[in-house]
């Protein structure tokens, strides 16, 4: 399965569990990924409070400060969902129950590769229900100071993410590609989160980044050099990680999109705002299904009517 134009929805063949610490809380946490029926979507269940759940949808986003958080920051919530959601978007998994025994997805090594490897170990099962996509019909753009993000029509799923930092270790760099499962695994999944040494103490004082370390973050020192012994995994790892973040944030649409997402100096808040702007304008997109033509040699995307309870309904 090399592209996103899969005919049918998918889930895992078996359950799989990962454990680690929350990058902000510093607390140990485990997540178990369970196969789910078609049309379930991605649903987080609390292992500590039976009956408490959160759907991985844009409408459930409660905060975009430092990470993407679902639910009520002062109540039941699940934080730092962007990397696991990016992994699910990236390799093409539609339906899962995610049972978590804390309030933050474990950071693992700061990238999405551990999630990808776990999902590959469990195996991907193709289901009988057809997959639906959100096809972008016209440009939708959000500006915020010097930053901007936009969706544009495109025949496929494309990301064009550009960042610009004053630090000499980063500077201005971009990552642009039409996404596929193979490209995601090889070019995006291993890109780690990053931060600056000068910001660590203020974050600790505010109660954040308590689980951050050189084991799960690329850290840039006061001399604008990467202080991790292993160095970078990609020359432009920073732009690739921002692409991973964008994929995870846009996965909260509840369906994959067909179009091009472009951003400059973006982040979780801008990604979330752009997604809501797209979904709130029903003239900007349509819901389509992949239909095989000419004995399966080509794929045509056919518009379908969507029920009022569809995942992309805000």
Check whether 24 is labelled as a binding-site residue: no
Cβ–Cβ < 8 Å for 123, 12: yes
Separation between Cα atoms, residue 211 and residue 79, nearest integer Å: 13
Q: Nearest-CA neighbor of 79 among 69, 89, 71?
A: 69
Q: Is 77 annotated to bind ligand? A: no
253, 285 in Cβ contact below 8 A?
Answer: no
The set of catalytic residues is 268
**CB distance 97 to 36 below 8 Å:** yes
Q: What angle do CA 311, 243, 29 make, to 5 degrees?
A: 70
User: Rounded distance, CA 236 to CA 205, Å?
Assistant: 30
Q: Is 83 annotated as a binding residue?
A: yes
Feature table: binding site: 83, 241, 245
Feature table: binding site for Zn(2+): 83, 241, 245
């Amino acid at each position: 399965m090399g592209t996103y134009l899969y005919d049918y929805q998918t889930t895992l063949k078996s359950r799989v569990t990962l454990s680690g610490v929350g990058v902000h809380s510093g607390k140990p946490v485990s997540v178990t990924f369970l196969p789910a029926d078609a049309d379930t979507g991605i649903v987080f269940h609390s292992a500590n409070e039976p009956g408490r759940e959160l759907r991985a949808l844009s409408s459930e986003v409660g905060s975009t400060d430092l990470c993407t958080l679902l639910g009520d920051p002062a109540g039941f919530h699940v934080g730092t969902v962007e990397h696991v959601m990016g992994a699910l978007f990236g390799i093409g998994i539609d339906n899962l129950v995610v049972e978590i025994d804390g309030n933050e997805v474990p950071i693992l090594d700061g990238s999405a590769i551990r999630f990808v490897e776990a999902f590959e170990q469990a195996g991907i099962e193709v289901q009988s229900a057809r997959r639906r996509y959100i096809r972008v019909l016209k440009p939708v753009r959000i500006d915020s100071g010097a930053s901007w993000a936009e969706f544009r029509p495109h025949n496929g799923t494309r990301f064009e993410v550009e960042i610009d930092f004053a630090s000499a270790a980063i500077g201005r760099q971009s990552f642009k590609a039409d996404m596929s499962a193979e490209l995601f695994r090889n070019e995006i999944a291993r890109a780690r989160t990053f931060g600056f040494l000068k910001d660590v103490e203020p974050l600790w004082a505010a109660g954040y980044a308590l689980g951050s370390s050189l084991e799960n973050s690329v850290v840039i020192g006061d001399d604008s050099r990467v202080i991790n012994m292993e160095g970078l995994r990609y020359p432009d790892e920073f732009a690739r990680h921002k692409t991973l973040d964008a994929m995870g944030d846009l996965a909260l649409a509840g369906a994959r999109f067909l179009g091009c997402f472009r951003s400059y100096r973006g982040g979780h808040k801008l990604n979330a705002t752009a997604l809501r702007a797209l979904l709130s304008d029903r003239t900007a997109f349509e819901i389509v299904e992949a239909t095989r033509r000419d004995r399966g040699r080509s794929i045509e995307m056919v518009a379908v009517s969507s029920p009022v309870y569809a995942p992309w309904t805000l």
